């Protein structure tokens, strides 16, 4: 039958969060006050100056196609920001502005992965990494980490997993879903392992501006500038500047790969939206110090949420260095029964139960390759955090 879907779709799993979101919406439609920790985006509006720049771009007639890899001013500004922050020279020719960082990762997947390739992905991982690899017919290989190891992949684990089939290694720091960020010493140790092994290294640093307690955010590029010819940094405007809906991200890649990404993107989305690129140009003018209030707010929420989670019986939780997620282990709840006689056998069931009984929406850890855990985004106001913790406490007290 010619009118069928491509077979590659059979290997891609639909998002595990969709069913939870649908149920949360159903409850809300019934008038239930659901507190959601599901969102992967800041809960405040894009700053006024950035919004104004987007509006100005439209009014100035910036409504036509741009070059595939982005307007020259933005590529130059991204290169300048990266050179400053990562202390390794980047040029505009290395920058591909894309439709979100997800678009940058998808361009890279199209340009690099093919059947037979293995792509190493530390787990827990962001949901789209393995699915993009599978869509291209390559194989994701997971490097497990544990809460006790601070959710970090060890150099030994990485060394064991590297094979001649390893096409790329995908590192995310700070991480979605754990918030864990590698220190300079940890990155050095990973770079040491990667140095003799010929493969691409993709460093997703989209949460790099969201680190707390004075944590020193270090780029893999900073510790391993000698790997520049096969190291790609992925970054974007979504998380740092509350611009998720503008859909602007980028990659900073060695120039030959950047040319390939231009070819790939030119046959697909073509470019990020013109007015969104001008808005992002304004975002990059924001001094990092101006982001301090946002960081302070996230840090206060993180502290409140993690302390509250740790106080619940049967819960363990690391203190994340960055991003805006907490990733508690809830194994202590598994095997126990709810008053209605439901035995909680896994994190998916826990998620459904919390939504139905406590009206708190969270994401199951299995979606990120870590069963027995939950992901809670603290892009949620403090009052909602307190109320949700109280609800969780009451729900857990009913388990037998
Ligand atoms: C680790 C990570 N990388 C990339 C992205 C993609 O961000 P965007 O496409 O909005 O720029 C996300 C979004 O959730 C993420 O968590």
Is residue 227 located within the same domain as residue 297?
no
- Residue 284 belongs to a domain: yes
- Residue 1 belongs to a domain: no
Alpha-carbon distance 335 to 301, whole Å? 30
Question: Could you give the angle at the alpha carbon of 91 between the alpha carbons of 88 and 95, nearest 5°?
Answer: 105
CA nearest 105: which of 245, 232, 263, 294?
Answer: 232
Among 270, 288, 306, the domain-final residue is 288
Is residue 59 located within the same domain as residue 38?
no
pLDDT of residue 40: 84
Is the minimum distance from the CB of 102 to ligand 1 under 6 angstroms?
yes
Residues 6+ apart with CB under 8 A from 396: 312, 313, 314, 333
Is the minimum distance from the CB of 162 to ligand 1 under 6 angstroms?
no
Cβ atoms within 10 Å of 332's Cβ, excluding its own: 15
pLDDT of residue 22: 82
- Residue 162 belongs to a domain: yes
Is residue 350 located within the same domain as residue 239?
no
pLDDT of residue 41: 87
- Mean pLDDT within 113-128: 97
In this structure, what DSSP letter does residue 14 have? Answer: P
The 10s digit of each residue's pLDDT in 31-63 is 999 999 988 888 899 999 999 999 999 999 999
The 10s digit of each residue's pLDDT in 348-396 is 999 999 999 999 999 999 999 999 999 999 999 999 999 999 999 999 9
- Mean pLDDT within 85-100: 98
Tokens 């010619």 belong to: 2
Is residue 148 located within the same domain as residue 205?
yes
> Which CB contacts under 8 angstroms, 24+ apart, belong to 255-259?
255/91, 255/93, 255/94, 257/111, 257/232, 258/69, 258/93, 258/94, 258/95, 258/96
**DSSP string of 89-151, one letter each residue:** ---GGGEEEESHHHHHHHHHHHHH--TT-EEEEEES--THHHHHHHHTT-EEEEEE--TTTTT
The percentage of residues in the chain with a pLDDT greater than 70, rounded to a whole number, is 99
First to last CA, the chain: 53
**What's this model's pTM, rounded to 2 decimal places?**
0.96
Strand partners, 144: 123
The 10s digit of each residue's pLDDT in 165-208 is 999 999 999 999 999 999 999 999 999 999 999 999 999 999 99
Is residue 283 located within the same domain as residue 136?
yes
Which residue among 17, 238, 279 is best mutated to probe the pocket of ligand 1, counting the most ligand atoms within 8 A of its Cβ?
Answer: 238
What interhelical angle do 128-135 and 100-112 show, nearest 10? 40
Is residue 195 located within the same domain as residue 282?
yes
Provide the CATH number for the domain around residue 381: 3.90.1150.10
Please, which pLDDT band fits residue 9 given cuts at 50, 70 and 90? confident
Is the minimum distance from the CB of 132 to ligand 1 under 6 angstroms?
no
Inform me whether the pLDDT recorded for 146 exceeds 90: yes
Q: Within its chain, how far is the Cα of 255 from the centroid? A: 25
Is the minimum distance from the CB of 176 to ligand 1 under 6 angstroms?
yes
Provide the CATH number for the domain around residue 187: 3.40.640.10
- Residue 194 belongs to a domain: yes
pLDDT of residue 194: 98
Is the minimum distance from the CB of 128 to ligand 1 under 6 angstroms?
no
The residue count for the chain: 400
Strand, helix or coil for residue 337: strand
Is residue 238 located within the same domain as residue 255?
yes
Among 288, 308, 333, the domain-final residue is 288
Specify the number of domains making up the chain.
2
Is the minimum distance from the CB of 249 to ligand 1 under 6 angstroms?
yes
Structural domain range at position 102: 48-288
Among 288, 308, 331, the domain-final residue is 288
Tokens for 48, please give them.
Answer: 């006024």
Is residue 86 located within the same domain as residue 205?
yes
pLDDT of residue 171: 98
Query: Nearest residue CA, atom 16 of ligand 1?
Result: 176
Inform me whether the pLDDT recorded for 30 exceeds 80: yes
Question: Could you give the angle at the alpha carbon of 72 between the alpha carbons of 67 and 77, nearest 5°?
Answer: 135
- Residue 198 belongs to a domain: yes
Is residue 119 located within the same domain as residue 134?
yes
Strand positions, DSSP E, 260-356: 325-326
When the pLDDT of each residue in the chain is averaged and rounded to a whole number, the result is: 95
Is the minimum distance from the CB of 101 to ligand 1 under 6 angstroms?
yes
Is the minimum distance from the CB of 81 to ligand 1 under 6 angstroms?
no
323: region left, alpha or beta (phi > 0 left; psi from -120 to 50 alpha): left
| CA 77 to centroid of ligand 1, rounded, Å | 20
**DSSP string of 313-334, one letter each residue:** TT-B----SBTTEE--B-GGGT
- Mean pLDDT within 294-322: 97
Is residue 153 located within the same domain as residue 53?
yes
Is residue 67 located within the same domain as residue 181?
yes
Please, which pLDDT band fits residue 16 given cuts at 50, 70 and 90? low
Is residue 183 located within the same domain as residue 300?
no
Tokens 């920001």 belong to: 81
Is the minimum distance from the CB of 167 to ligand 1 under 6 angstroms?
no
Which residue among 239, 244, 269 is best mutated to probe the pocket of ligand 1, counting the most ligand atoms within 8 A of its Cβ?
Answer: 239
Tokens 């896994």 belong to: 346
Q: Give CA separation, 328 vs 90, 148, 242, 299, in Å.
A: 38, 12, 25, 17
Is the minimum distance from the CB of 204 to ligand 1 under 6 angstroms?
yes
Atom of ligand 1 nearest to the CA of 126: 1
- Residue 2 belongs to a domain: no
């Amino acid at each position: 039958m010619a009118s069928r879907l491509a077979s590659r779709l059979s290997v891609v799993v639909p998002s595990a969060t969709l069913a939870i979101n649908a149920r949360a919406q159903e409850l809300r439609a019934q008038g239930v006050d659901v507190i959601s920790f599901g969102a992967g985006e800041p809960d405040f509006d894009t700053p006024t100056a950035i919004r104004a720049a987007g509006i100005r771009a439209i009014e100035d007639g910036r409504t036509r196609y741009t070059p595939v890899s982005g307007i020259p001013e933005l590529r130059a500004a991204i290169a300048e920001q990266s050179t400053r922050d990562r202390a390794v020279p980047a040029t505009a020719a290395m920058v591909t502005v894309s439709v979100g960082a997800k678009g940058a990762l998808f361009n890279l997947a199209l340009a690099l992965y093919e059947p037979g390739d293995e792509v190493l992905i530390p787990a827990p991982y962001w949901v789209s990494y393995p699915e993009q690899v599978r869509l291209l017919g390559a194989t994701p290989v997971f490097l497990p980490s544990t809460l006790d190891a601070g959710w970090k992949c060890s150099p030994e684990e990485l060394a064991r997993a590297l094979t001649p089939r390893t096409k790329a290694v995908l590192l995310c720091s700070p991480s979605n879903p754990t918030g864990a960020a590698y220190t300079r010493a940890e990155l050095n140790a990973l770079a040491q392992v990667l140095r003799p092994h010929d493969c691409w290294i993709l460093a997703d640093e989209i949460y790099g501006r969201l680190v707390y307690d004075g944590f020193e955010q270090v780029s893999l590029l900073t510790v391993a500038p000698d790997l520049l010819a096969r190291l790609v940094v992925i970054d974007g405007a979504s998380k740092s500047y509350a611009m998720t809906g503008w859909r602007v991200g980028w990659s900073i890649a060695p120039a030959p790969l950047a040319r390939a990404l231009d070819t790939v993107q030119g046959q697909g989305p073509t470019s990020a939206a013109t007015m969104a690129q001008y808005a992002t140009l304004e975002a990059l003018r924001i001094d990092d110090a101006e982001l301090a209030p946002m960081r302070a707010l996230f840090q206060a929420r993180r502290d409140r949420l993690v302390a509250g989670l740790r106080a619940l019986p049967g819960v363990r939780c690391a203190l994340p260095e960055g991003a805006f997620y907490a990733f508690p282990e809830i194994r202590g709840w598994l095997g126990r029964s709810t008053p209605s006689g439901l035995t909680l056998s896994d994190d998916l069931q826990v998620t459904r139960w919390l939504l139905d009984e406590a009206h708190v929406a969270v994401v199951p850890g299995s979606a990120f390759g870590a069963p027995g855990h939950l992901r809670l985004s603290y892009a949620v106001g403090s009052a909602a955090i307190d109320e949700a913790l109280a609800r969780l406490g009451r729900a857990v007290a009913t388990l037998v």
